[in-house]
Amino acid sequence: MSRYPAIRRILIVTLFLNWLVAAAKIIYGLLTKSMSMSADGFHSLSDGASNIAGLIGIFIASRPVDKFHPYGHKKFETYASIAIAVILFLISFNLLKEAVGRFFNPTLPSVTVFSFGIMVATMAINYFVMTYEKIAGLRFKSDILIADSLHTKSDMLASGSVVFALIAARFGLPQMDLLAGIFISIMIAFCAVRIIKDSTKILCDGLAIDCDNVKNVIKGIPDVKRCHKIRTRGRPDDIHVDLHVSVDTNMHVDKAHAISHKIQDKIKRSIPGVTDVIVHIEPF
């Protein structure tokens, strides 16, 4: 299966699973007046919103090269990751505001065996989704899937904090429910910061490959005297490399041109994700 249809299928599957988890948590949280359960449910709902943002990003990113986008549309996948981070920030702010409000108007949550069952079941689903997306993200070098798996991971850990809060409420410490809600909001914000950090590196053309790795690949190619001014940028699945290579001053232009093609081919074969190599030939 090609890259974009596979990513699209994964996002659709996780979308329905996330909505299933969110519905269970929110409904039960509202019925039992558990702030942390409801907060965790809205976090799960944001997982579904991030899946939709990812689907939109993938739809645009899969478009072919055109006159106005000679390098393609692949960075739209990275922009979609930024959209996921923005969604997380908004959810984090709203949950923090609700937690502070509940602090001044406390409500004792209802704790039952059923509530624990819901949390354990949803944590199991979240673990499956997180693992599924992370493995697929690494396989397809998709920052959308990796960002979404990080989001789901925070959801799973947040669910663990809810279980802790429910246990605390069972022992007469309802204020722990409020602290768990605050903890969830901070965790969501932390994940958003991490996603933005990774995405801006790509959008600002940060270093994609260690220069020494490129030098090691070129080393051993006949007639190459020296390579320098190595620059790399791009996404994990679309890395661009440009470098300067020195050859003998008296070398014929046809041979120098052939060497540049050897360098391009070897770099593309040796380093996964490299799609474009520009070699500048200069006299040694």
Verify that 268 and 149 share a domain, yes or no.
no
Return the residue matching tokens 């990774």: 198
The predicted structure's pLDDT at residue 119? 76
Domain extent, residue 239, equals: 211-283
The predicted structure's pLDDT at residue 53? 87
- Average pLDDT of the residues in 265-278: 94
Q: Give tens-digit pLDDT for 25-80.
A: 788 778 777 666 677 677 677 667 778 888 999 999 999 999 999 988 999 999 99
DSSP label of 108: P
Q: Give tens-digit pLDDT for 54-67.
A: 899 999 999 999 99
Q: What is the distance, to the nearest Å, from the Cα of residue 176 to the centroid of all Cα atoms in its chain?
A: 31
Verify that 123 and 222 share a domain, yes or no.
no
The predicted structure's pLDDT at residue 267? 96
pLDDT bin (cut points 50, 70, 90) of residue 92 is confident
Amino acid at 70: P
Verify that 11 and 94 share a domain, yes or no.
yes
**For residues 197 and 212, what is the distance between their CA atoms, to the nearest angstrom?**
24
Verify that 147 and 242 share a domain, yes or no.
no
Verify that 148 and 249 share a domain, yes or no.
no
Number of domains, the chain: 2
Verify that 159 and 254 share a domain, yes or no.
no
Out of 184, 203, 222, pick the residue that ends a domain: 203
**For residues 73 and 145, what is the distance between their CA atoms, to the nearest angstrom?**
17
Verify that 44 and 120 share a domain, yes or no.
yes
Verify that 167 and 235 share a domain, yes or no.
no
Return the residue matching tokens 């397809």: 140
8 A C-beta contact, residue 257 and residue 245 = no
The Cβ-side half-sphere exposure at 89, using a 13 Å CA radius, reads: 11
Verify that 12 and 91 share a domain, yes or no.
yes
Verify that 134 and 233 share a domain, yes or no.
no
Assign residue 260 the CATH number of its domain: 3.30.70.1350
**For residues 159 and 111, what is the distance between their CA atoms, to the nearest angstrom?**
15
8 A C-beta contact, residue 59 and residue 79 = no
Assign residue 138 the CATH number of its domain: 1.20.1510.10
The predicted structure's pLDDT at residue 282? 94
Out of 182, 203, 224, pick the residue that ends a domain: 203
Verify that 194 and 74 share a domain, yes or no.
yes
Amino acid at 28: Y
* Dihedral of alpha carbons 145, 151, 154, 155, sign: negative
- Is residue 1's pLDDT more than 60? no
Query: How is 150-217 classified by DSSP, letter by letter?
Result: HHHHHHHHHHHHHHHHHHHHHTT-THHHHHHHHHHHHHHHHHHHHHHHHHHHHHTT---S-HHHHHHH
Verify that 230 and 125 share a domain, yes or no.
no
pLDDT bin (cut points 50, 70, 90) of residue 102 is low
Q: Give tens-digit pLDDT for 185-230.
A: 888 888 889 889 999 999 999 999 999 999 999 988 989 999 999 9
| pTM for this prediction | 0.78
Q: Give tens-digit pLDDT for 138-186.
A: 898 898 898 888 878 777 777 777 677 667 767 777 667 677 778 778 8
User: How does 152-184 read in b/e, with b if 16+ C-beta sit within 10 Å?
Assistant: bbbbbbbbebbbbbbebbeeeebebbbbbbbbb
Plot region of 283 (φ>0 → left; ψ -120 to 50 → alpha; else → beta)? beta
Using CA atoms, how far residue 174 sits from 35, 178, 253, in Å, is: 10, 7, 79
Return the residue matching tokens 């959810």: 91
Q: Which of 201, 233, 197 is nearest to 214 (CA)?
A: 233
Out of 179, 203, 227, pick the residue that ends a domain: 203
pLDDT bin (cut points 50, 70, 90) of residue 18 is confident
**For residues 32 and 43, what is the distance between their CA atoms, to the nearest angstrom?**
18
